[in-house]
Chain A
Amino acid sequence: MTDESRLLFSCVGLSKSYTVKVLDDVSFELRRGEIHALLGANGAGKSTFCKIVAGLTAASSGTMQLDGKSFAPSNKRQAEAAGVQIVQQELNQIGTLSVAENLLFGRFPHRFGCINRKELHRRARISLERFGIDDIALDMPVSRLGVGQRQLIEIATALDRDCRLLILDEPTAALTHRETEKLFTWLSQMRDRGVGIIYISHRLDEVSKLTDRVTILRDGRRVESCSTSELSTTDMVRAMTGIESASTETEFTSHTQTPIRLRVKNIVRTGVLENISFEVHAGERLGIAGLVGSGRTELLRAMFGSDTADSGSIQLDDDPQQHRFRSPSQAVHHGLAMVTEDRKQSGLLLSQSIAVNTTLASMQQVCSRVGVINRQREHTAASDYREKLDIRCPDVNQTCASLSGGNQQKVVMAKWLLCGANVFLFDEPTRGVDVGAIQPIHRLFEELARDGKAIVIVSSDLDELLRTCDRIIVLSAGHVTGEFTRGVWSRESIMQASFAGYAI
């Protein structure tokens, strides 16, 4: 029974909307001296929830209470002053500063503005020793440490400040087994001191072992809150997955043909991708599911040559030649196309026109033999694809910056269609795209399939893959942990596979 005096933090009706609702009416309670796991699939709202509690973003509605007092931090500093610390997945360190300087950043011991180096190192040593770390030089710039050690220092930094509520988002992702054990010992000590801990992890066995209670989010709503001992890891996955919604079972026509268009063989990038192999037929849409950080984007990048794989190869059509591309230009030359996750950083020339973007990968089609651009031909080519893909704009001379996300994505696709690619790699094709533009993009997958292209789609939205793909393979911690074909797949089995690699 919840003893009122043990209640540390609570919230009621917490909601957050961007263009869509990412957090919907969530209530949550955290007791003193409790490690509380927060679970959910990609996009379930875990990170948003934590950011609200830590003051990094404000809730659209709902109230929070800390220690019985109303709590509404408007920034991180206020949350910290109230005793809330967060350790995020992204490292929040200044690489050129030393370990000690990062540990005590913002709290430098000083006299008249001069940092007292002796005192700085003394305090830094104390906080690291408390954590059992004695093998890191305090004056080493953190950029020269490994990711695991940086993660430890990040955690130590948070724990060193007085806190009553600690939020850890995937703290063990980069830690070795020994470091993880160390962290758990420490967290247990903090629990005994009465600190409340919110713990996010993909590793369900860790959750079972370490935490006292579990709250499960799905599509921004709380679906379960109970004591950890009541749930097996299978139950947890089931709760995260939910009931198969009817809407995903729309009509689907397969266009898969017999010939194999793309063979991926034993691709390895040490520490990121472990021996990945699969095949894609002509006209087939292959989905790649997996949790954020499971290596999905890295796989596409390795195939496309934007990162070079350590070993492994790609074969195309009947060509016996085995490729390991070292640059995107090689991949494009062999008929690959990649629609990247971040349109603005690596997909588009935002300040240039739609026409310029459309022809970027296929200049040879719109220029003379000596490289003079035929503007008429360029304009016609761009206009053709504007029509085909229904890009909403008055004119192809308009800049891409003025287009909506969906239309921008269509421009990226126009670029690759004009270039005549045969193998399409899509990384989060509908992220940040308005709802109305998703359907046309999915129809485009279908058209590509009908034309016999091979299509690989990475998406964090499992529904999207279930709706659009012939087959889904699952990546988990860099391993392929499952392969499912339409008709025999289930959300639950895919979700089980997504977590499987982390238990190894």
Chain B
Amino acid sequence: MSILNNKTFRDILSQFIVVTALVLFIWHIVGNLQHNIEVRGITTGFAFFGDKAGFGISESPISYSEDSTYFRAFLVGLTNTVYVSFVGIFFASILGVIIGVGRLSKNFLISKLSLLYVEFFRNIPLLLQILFWYNIVLAALPGPRQSIALWANCFLNNRGFYIPKPIFGTSFEYVVLAFVVAIGLVVFLSKWATKRFEETGKDMLVWPWAILILVTIPLVVFNLLGSPLSFDYPALRGFNFRGGMSYSPEFLALAFALSVYTASLIAEAVRSGIEAVAKGQKEAAASLGLTSYQSLKLVVLPQAIRIAIPPILGQYLNLIKNSSLATAIGYPEIVTVFSGTVLNQTGQAIEIIAVTMAVYLTISLFVSLILNIVNKKLAIKER
């Protein structure tokens, strides 16, 4: 019997061949790379991170100026990526759940309009949507002098969206503390209600009480401390608004397009999650005499959530990755700032693209870590 017919030997041999081929391939590429780097005189290494950036960034949640380092610019890009992703995820979730539930509504108009929404927005490239909102809708807004005035001193014009900026007084932290205490009380209350329900069978609606607690306690503390919160209102001075907080058209277009697009995908996840709950479960709940609200809360939703959460988290990850399309309209997130401006200035493509990819890989590893934890928590506990 030849040694070639030995399974262990063959396994080792085939793996050996693959590894050798891969090593040769990488060796070849790295050789070419080194040669090309020498020929073109590209500098290498990460020393450029400490150099002065020398370019401005239009919007930045952290302090940044032209004198800051490239590393600071990198951080600005990263915070902007995280910021716009959070905003996008927040609105996409709300909109997605509403539309996903709307798909199952008995009302003909609601379900058909939800279907139309899903089929329309998920079948158009996200980049097209971003460009449309940015180049057509936001560009068509009036100039600062003819701003559209919304409630509470908010203004919308083609330079952005202006809202009052809260200025927190010195004792405002006590209000925050009161809020934390209120959250603690609500948690305690819901635990107590669950316990009482299990012992005596008396059910109670927790959420009206929860809202009452969450609103009154901080509000009372706030008023006792003499309202330690004021607003800096945006006002028209000269040709533009001064004061307040503003969101640039780039941010608005990106956040809006990301939310609207991802909402259509989240809606599908929500719908299929709810539909995946076996009909027998609802019938069983009904035959136990549960009301439709109880059946939804105690039987359908716990099972639907288990099915819907993994695809929804996957969509969150996609949204974070899709925020890189900002580069098409120039919102200064990590790809625009770092793989764009910094790369053009330093020419160190290898390091910069590697770092950018590493950032996204870290984020996606982080999200899959959360996904695993959630999956473990939600897993069916079999007897």
Q: Do A and B bind each other?
A: no
